[in-house]
Amino acid sequence: MAVRIVTDSTSDLPAAMASEYGIEVVPLNVHFGDSVFKDGVDITTDQFFDRLINGDEFPSTSQPSMGEFVEAYERISEEGDEVVSVHLSSKLSGTYNSAEQASKHLEDKIKIHLVDTEQVTITVGFAAIAAAKVASNGGSAEDAVEAARSISARSSFYALFDTLEFLAKGGRIGRAQSMLGSLLKIRPLLMLDNGVVEPYSKARSRSAGMAELEKAVRSLGKAEEIAIMYSTESDEAHGIADTLGDMLPEGKHPLVSRVGPVIGTHAGPRLIAVGHVSNVPEES
C-alpha cells in the first residue's frame, strides 16, 4: 500500500523535480486552431512561445478529460494504494472538476483525495511536493492532504504582466478587467486572492513594475519557499531571485523556472511572477 501523488501541468513543476518526488503530472491541452497539443508533452515551451509571438493563430486551452484522469489514477495505482490529487484553483479551470468526476468513477476501486489549492503555477507545485514528501516518508494520505493544504494556505502569488491582452482573451481576468482601459502605458501587477486573479497595483514602466513586485513579496515576510516564474525573460527572473534570496533560510536560494504553454497562453511574453510560501507560525 502506498500513497501516490498527482498534479496537473499548470503546477509548472520542472520535469526533474516531478520525477525526483514521484509526482504524476496530468497535462492540460493547448489549441492552435484545429491542432491540439498536450502541455509539456507534444509541444516544448520554446516552440510554444515562438508560435505565440510569431504565429498568426491565438491559442486557447482546455482541461484534461475525466478519462485522462481515470487513466492516470489507474496507471499509477496498485491494489490498496491511495491517491492524493493536487490541482490549480477550481475558480480558474475545470481541471479540478475533471479530477473529481474521475475520482467518483473510481470510488469503488481507488480511494482518491482531491486538493483544490486555490493557487496557480508553482504554488500548486509546492503543495504537490509537500504531499509527496509526506508520502515518501510513510505518511498517510490524510497527512499528505494536510501538508498540501498547509502550503496552499500559506502561499501567495504575484505576477507582473507586460500586457493583460492574453489574460483577457483567455477569460481569466476577473476584476482585473477594470485595468484594461489604460493598458497602453501600464504594467499591471496582479495577485491571486481566494483562487481568483485580482488587480494589485500598476506601474508606468517595467522597472517600476519590478520594484512593485519586489515590494509586494517583501511585505509577506520571511519565506519557507520562493520561486521566480518567467515566460521569456530569464535574466530578469534570475535577477529578482538574487534580490529576494535573503528572505529564505541561510543556504537556500529561490527556485527559478519557466511557466509552461498553458500558463503562457494566458500570461503572454515577458511575464515575471513570484510564488511565496510563508513560514509555519511558531507556537506560543
- What range defines the domain where residue 170 resides? 155-278
* Final residue in a domain of this structure, among 113, 132, 153: 153
User: Is residue 194 a part of any domain in this protein?
Assistant: yes
- The 10s digit of each residue's pLDDT in 36-67 is 999 989 999 999 999 999 998 989 999 999 99
Are both 24 and 72 inside the same structural domain?
yes
In a shared domain, residues 180 and 245: yes
Q: 73-77, 195-199, 269-273 — which is least confidently predicted?
A: 195-199
Q: In sequence order, what DSSP letters do the residues of the chain get, joined into one string?
A: --EEEEEEGGG---HHHHHHTTEEEE--EEEETTEEEEBTTTB-HHHHHHHHHHSSS--EEEPPPHHHHHHHHHHH--TT-EEEEEES-TTT-SHHHHHHHHHHHTTTT-EEEEEE-S--THHHHHHHHHHHHHHHTT--HHHHHHHHHHHHHTEEEEEE-S-SHHHHHTT--GGGGGGGGGGGG-EEEEEEETTEEEEEEEESSHHHHHHHHHHHHHTT-SEEEEEEEESS-HHHHHHHHHHHGGGSPTT---EEEE--HHHHHHH-TT-EEEEEEEPPPPP-
- Which of 35-39, 96-100, 128-132, 161-165 is least confident? 161-165
Residue 176 has pLDDT above 70, yes or no: no
Query: What is the pLDDT averaged over residues 153-167?
Result: 89
Does the predicted TM-score (pTM) go above 0.75? yes
Mean pLDDT of the chain: 92
Whether residue 124 is found in the same domain as residue 220: no
pLDDT number for residue 186: 79
Tell me the pLDDT band of 162, cut-offs 50, 70 and 90: confident
